[in-house]
Amino acid sequence: MAGNPHRVVALFLGALVFALGACGGEDDSGGPGVELNWFVATQPGGTIQEVAKRCSEESRGAYTVNVELLPTDASQQREQLVRRLGAEDSNVDLIGMDVIWTAEFANAGWLLPWEGADAEEVTDGVFDSVVETATFEDTLYGAPFNSNTQLLWYRTDKVDEPPATWDEMIDEAERLDMDVQVQADRYEGFTVWVNAMIESAGTEILSGPETVDLAEGPTEDALSIIGRLANSPAAAPNISTSNEDSARLGFEAGDSAFMLNYTFAYASASANAPKIAQNMGAARFPEVVQGTPSKPPLGGFNIAVGAFTEHPDEAFEAAKCLSNAKSQLTATELDGLPPSNQTLYKDKIVRKAFPGFADVIEESIANAGPRPLTPAYTDLSLAIQRSLHPPESIDPEDPKPAYEELRENAEEAVKREGLL
């Protein structure tokens, strides 16, 4: 080799490149890995930070997930994301996406689609109803993470069996001289209640992103019951300003026989009103029309990849980890959030978090009625609230005026762009 200096230099340079590559850390690419920003609402039990930490570690240096917490108010969460994505902010790599944002964000071109094996992986075993919330125009835009639904909570020391229908429940509450707790302030929770009642009556608000359905007979059946409760002595005194928290507090105070609320209600009563919790039963959302199965509310969020990320490959890998079974069980254990994957409902973590009512949650999510999937969702939700609030304004004997106003405002809402 002494006679071939060019070959000596080549061998030296090759060895140097190999050595530098070996010092590049655990990332297979030889680099230090990328930083991914996950914009998401916080959870009080620490789920978000825990799954971000675990997935970063499991990536072996390929990526680090930085948590960027959104405001606690849902409207402010959406507004912050709309502003960033509207400005094509490349810092938005991952999004904790409320189930009602999918159509709006996808239609605006702000999300990357899930395709092929990745799409199959993140939807394997997931409730069909939840997959629907992550889909727009037959394309998947989110990896399902946690889900949620409302149950009928009732006092087992006051009633032997949960009522099957809303009319039965109102009759029983009036007989007991006790309240029925719902969410009927002028906010998204009211839209959730209205949508569940209309879906349960056998119709839907929209049959397509811009097509109003609202079959007259079933819609009037639903509105009649809303009006009946609101004008009944069984209505909570604060019904027109009620929300999830006020409903919880009202039930824990002992004056209510029934409550429609999310799964957190049991843990809250166990901590704050143990005597109430001891006599707290859970059942499926009541039927609006006897013999027609109810369509319970559906909440939760999915994990989307921002369209302007500079690291799409790593973002999709991170989203798969953040939404996988291990992450979903962490959310159940730390924050009491129901999994979106139906196969997890026999897991001991889920059974412990929801003692005696895990099966009711599973049944409710499987049969839930998602809110309308439309890019104009925000306008539509506001139109519903404007049309029907306060609920006392609905005449249970003649709901037709309320129906006509709802239909007119819904038609107008879906013609708008939504977004900004």
- 137-193, pLDDT tens digit by residue? 999 999 999 999 999 999 999 999 999 999 999 999 999 999 999 999 999 999 999
Chain center to CA of 32: 35
Give the C-alpha separation, 96 to 111, whole Å.
12
Which of the four pLDDT bands, split at 50, 70 and 90, describes residue 416?
A: confident
Are 84 and 102 members of one domain? yes
Instruction: Give whole-number Cα distances, 342 to 110, 295, 365, in Å.
Output: 29, 17, 9
Q: Supply the pLDDT for residue 32.
A: 64
Are 252 and 109 members of one domain? no
Q: Which residues pair with 185 in a beta bridge?
A: none
Examine residue 80 and state whether it is found in any structural domain, yes or no. Answer: yes
Examine residue 4 and state whether it is found in any structural domain, yes or no. Answer: no
Are 280 and 382 members of one domain? yes
- Report whether 380 contacts 412 (CB < 8 A): no
Question: Domain range for residue 196?
Answer: 150-297+376-413
Burial (Cβ within 10 Å: 0-12, 13-18, ≥19) of residue 13: exposed
Are 116 and 226 members of one domain? no
Mean pLDDT of 321-338: 98
Instruction: Provide the mean pLDDT of the chain.
Output: 92
Tens-place pLDDT, residues 333-357: 999 999 999 999 999 999 999 999 9
Tens-place pLDDT, residues 222-245: 999 999 999 999 999 999 999 999
Are 393 and 263 members of one domain? yes
Are 273 and 407 members of one domain? yes
Are 362 and 234 members of one domain? no
Helix (H, G, I), strand (E, B) or coil at 147: strand
**Amino acid letter, residue 231:** N
Q: Which of 12-16, 30-34, 77-81 has the lowest mean pLDDT?
A: 12-16
Buried b (16+ CB within 10 A) or exposed e, 196-231: bbbbbbbbbbbeebeebbbeeebbbbbbbbbbbbbb
Alpha helices of 31-99 — where are they, by DSSP H? 47-58, 74-86
Examine residue 387 and state whether it is found in any structural domain, yes or no. Answer: yes
Please spell the DSSP secondary structure of 317-349, one letter per residue.
Answer: HHHHHHTSHHHHHHHHHHH-PPBSBGGGGGSHH
Which of the four pLDDT bands, split at 50, 70 and 90, describes residue 257?
A: very high
Q: Which of 25-29, 31-35, 128-132 has the lowest mean pLDDT?
A: 25-29
Question: 63: domain CATH number?
Answer: 3.40.190.10
Instruction: Give whole-number Cα distances, 284 to 6, 134, 151, 293, in Å.
Output: 80, 24, 5, 10
pTM here is 0.91
Are 97 and 189 members of one domain? no
Examine residue 23 and state whether it is found in any structural domain, yes or no. Answer: no
- Report whether 333 contacts 155 (CB < 8 A): no
Query: Percent of the chain, pLDDT > 90?
Result: 90
Q: Supply the pLDDT for residue 10.
A: 38
- Report whether 341 contacts 123 (CB < 8 A): no
Task: Outline where DSSP puts E strands in 247-360.
Answer: 256-262, 280-283, 299-305
Q: Which residues pair with 65 in a beta bridge?
A: 36
Which of the four pLDDT bands, split at 50, 70 and 90, describes residue 417?
A: low
Are 52 and 138 members of one domain? yes
Residue 415 or residue 111, greater confidence: 111
Examine residue 11 and state whether it is found in any structural domain, yes or no. Answer: no
Task: Report long-range pairs for 245-254 (Cβ below 8 Å, ≥24 apart).
Answer: 246/181, 247/181, 247/182, 247/183, 248/181, 250/179, 250/181, 251/153, 251/181, 251/276, 252/276
Number of domains in the chain: 2
Give the C-alpha separation, 298 to 131, whole Å.
12
Give the C-alpha separation, 347 to 184, whole Å.
35
Q: Supply the pLDDT for residue 179.
A: 98
Examine residue 216 and state whether it is found in any structural domain, yes or no. Answer: yes
H or E element, residue 177 = none
**Amino acid letter, residue 351:** R
Please state, as a whole number, how many other Cβ atoms lie within 10 Å of the Cβ of residue 42.
Answer: 16
- Report whether 296 contacts 196 (CB < 8 A): yes
